[in-house]
Each structure stands twice: as C-alpha cells, then as structure tokens.
Amino acid sequence: MPALDGFRAVAAFSVVLAHGYDVTVFDGVTGFFVLSGFLITTLLLREQEAMGTVSLRAFYARRTLRIFPAYYACVLASYVIDRVAGNPWPRGLAPSAVAYVVNYFNAFNGHPSTSIAHLWSLGVEEQFYLLWPTVFIALGRFGLPALRKGLAALIVLSIAWRCFLYFGGYVGQAYLYNTFDARFDNLAVGCLLATLVVSPRFTQAISFVTAYSWAPLVTIALMTVVMHGMSSIPRHLFGFTIYSVLVAILLVQLLNWSRSTLWRWLEWPAVRFLGTISYPIYLYHAWGLGLGHWLTGFSAFWQFIAGTIFSVVGGVGSYFVVEKPFLAMKKRFAPERRHAAPARAAGQPTQAPIPS
C-alpha cells in the first residue's frame, strides 16, 4: 500500500524525537497501533477471501518470524550491556521481557526507567497478535457487518473499562498507558478501518475528508490539539481513542493522496527504506540516544542528531543481520492462492468468504 512505509518512518522518528529531544509532534506509538490493526486485519480479510478460511498456524508462524528474532536479540543485548555496565535489571524485568509482558511490568511498577521500558508497546502488539485472529474468525463467521459491530462494541467497552478502573481507584496512569486491556481500542480502530474501506458506501461517506491534498494537514492539526490540548487523565481515558480515529482518517487520506505533490515524499526510496527498518530503529533507539548523550562536548541538539544516527545504524544492523534471514522464511507460510472454498449447506458451519 502506498505511503504506509513512509508513515512508519514518520512514526518511528516521532518516537525518537519525543524520547531524545522531548518534543512530541506526532504520537508514533499510537500511530503504530492503528496501523498494525489496519494491516493485520486487511491481511486476514484477504486470506479469508482468497482461501475461505484463516490459518492460525500460518499466521502465528509469520508473526513469530517477523517479530521474535529481532526482539529477543535486542532483549539479550540490552541485558548483557546493562549487566556489564553494572546496571542490573529490577527484579521481574527479565522474565517479563522474555514473556513479552514488559507492558504489565511497567504498569505495576510505575513505568520505571529501564533500557527496555519502551518495549511495552511491543508487548501490547504481541498480545493483540495472540488474541485478535481468534476473535476475527469468531466474529467473521457472521459476516462483515457483525465484525464491524463487534469492533465498535469493543472500542466502547475499552473506554468504559478504563473509566471503571480509574474512577474506581483500582489503577493509576501507568496502567492506563501501558496495558493491552487499556489500549486495545487503539488497535481496534485500525481493525475497524480495514473492515470499512472495502465498502463503497464508506468511501462515499468520507469523501469530504479526502477531497483535497491539504486535508491531512487539518487532521494533523486536530491530532495536535488532542495531544497537547487535553490534560493527562482525560487524554488517557478517551483522548487516545479520539487520536486513533484521527490517525485512521489520516491513513485514508495519505493512501488517497500518496502521489500528490504534497505527500509524494512518503514514497521516496530513502523514506520507504527507513519505514522498512522502523521496527529495529524502535528497538534500538534507546541505546542509540544513550550513545548520543555520551558526546558531552556537544550541545543537546547535536547529541540528539548523533543519537538518531546511532539509532538508524543499529536498525540497519539488526535488519540485515538478524531479521532478513528469518523474513525470507515467511514465504513458506504465505496463504495459498486458490479459489475460496464453497459455502456449506444451510445449517452447517461455514468458512465462506466474509460478505460485505
């Protein structure tokens, strides 16, 4: 899909900018959540349409090859470096990292500052990968309308759940920010978008937000208002949901205007490559920025620039040394291109393509 690699690059460097220079222009993590929900659901819909079913085994195999090698290499490297440097990890952090639950470790420990604290978002995504395909299959058996209604209900329930936990005095802000159950609606917005864009009626309904190439600038301005115009608690309770909806609108706009003069830079080869390695850049940006801070003879700005370069170098190394050999193996688990299985007789279980 056009512009999406460029979007990944923007999201990744927004995180680097926020962590390295304390400037938040765009919430890259929420952007990644919405994009993940959109892309994963799009792939599931395509597989369902092409094959008449979704293979959970193949899905988890592809996700494992895509995510695990680079993640565990980063966790191991971080553990060894911290150990050698005399910075032992807090009790429970190592097993949390291995189990992909750094997000819940952060939630129950006040989001402590560690070299892998940022891996909380990957915990959220991994928990999404684990659960969503099964929910997709269960809801998808009743057709796309049921899938859309189910997602809308889950988004509302997620907001209600956060309000119940917070106003009931059960959790604090760290829990609302880090956990899968408190952030699932961000991903669900992307999932819902994937089910909507296949509908001509949806395309017509939102034509006014895609009518002009400058329309994404309006969306970005509204996102800035949500991010900086809300106080912390309202932002955590429902602001991130509003922000996710705006990200979904932005994705539609960028897909529509990717070849326009204003947005074609998202398709530049260099930008697309940075989007391709956005995952390892995110993994190693904490170490890259840390190396930049060692350049004490330079200003904070140049330390940040150096840290960003170090982050990109770490991402390039991880991509070519660790990821690519495993990514090549994903082809073994690609959905077979065959005609969808015919629907069964009425009253029998069906795995026919989801109707629109």
Which ranges of the chain does DSSP label H, i.e. alpha helix? 4-21, 28-51, 56-84, 93-98, 102-108, 120-140, 144-167, 173-178, 180-196, 200-205, 215-229, 232-234, 240-256, 269-276, 278-293, 300-318, 324-329
Structural contact between residues 164 and 92, judged by C-beta atoms closer than 8 angstroms: no
Mean pLDDT throughout 198-208?
Answer: 85
Mean pLDDT throughout 156-177?
Answer: 96
Per-residue confidence (pLDDT) for residue 50, from 0 to 100: 86
For residue 113, is pLDDT > 80? yes
For residue 129, is pLDDT > 80? yes
Structural contact between residues 290 and 309, judged by C-beta atoms closer than 8 angstroms: no
For residue 349, is pLDDT > 70? no
Per-residue confidence (pLDDT) for residue 336, from 0 to 100: 56
Residues 6 or more apart from 191 whose CB is under 8 A from it?
37, 38, 40, 41, 132, 136, 151
Cα–Cα distance for residue pair 326/67, rounded to 1 Å: 10
> Around Cβ 333, how many Cβ atoms within 10 Å?
16
> Around Cβ 153, how many Cβ atoms within 10 Å?
12
Grade residue 352 by pLDDT with cuts at 50, 70 and 90: very low
For residue 267, is pLDDT > 70? yes
End-to-end CA distance of the chain: 21
Q: What is the pLDDT of residues 269-306, one digit of tens each?
A: 999 999 999 999 999 999 999 999 999 889 999 999 99
Mean pLDDT throughout 332-353?
Answer: 45
Mean pLDDT throughout 184-203?
Answer: 93
Q: What is the pLDDT of residues 16-44, one digit of tens each?
A: 999 998 888 899 999 999 999 999 999 99
Per-residue confidence (pLDDT) for residue 300, from 0 to 100: 92
What Rg value do the Cα atoms of the chain yield, rounded? 21
Per-residue confidence (pLDDT) for residue 220, from 0 to 100: 96
For residue 144, is pLDDT > 90? yes
Percent of the chain with pLDDT over 70: 94
pTM tops 0.75:
yes
Q: What is the pLDDT of residues 296-342, one digit of tens each?
A: 889 999 999 999 999 999 999 999 999 999 988 877 777 654 444 44
Cα–Cα distance for residue pair 34/21, rounded to 1 Å: 24
Q: Return the DSSP state at 321.
A: I
Structural contact between residues 352 and 342, judged by C-beta atoms closer than 8 angstroms: yes
Mean pLDDT throughout 242-251?
Answer: 97
Cα–Cα distance for residue pair 56/347, rounded to 1 Å: 24
Q: What is the pLDDT of residues 78-89, one digit of tens each?
A: 999 999 999 999
Q: What is the mean pLDDT of the chain?
A: 91
How buried is 120 (Cβ within 10 angstroms: 0-12 exposed, 13-18 middle, 19+ buried)?
buried
Residues 6 or more apart from 98 whose CB is under 8 A from it?
72, 75
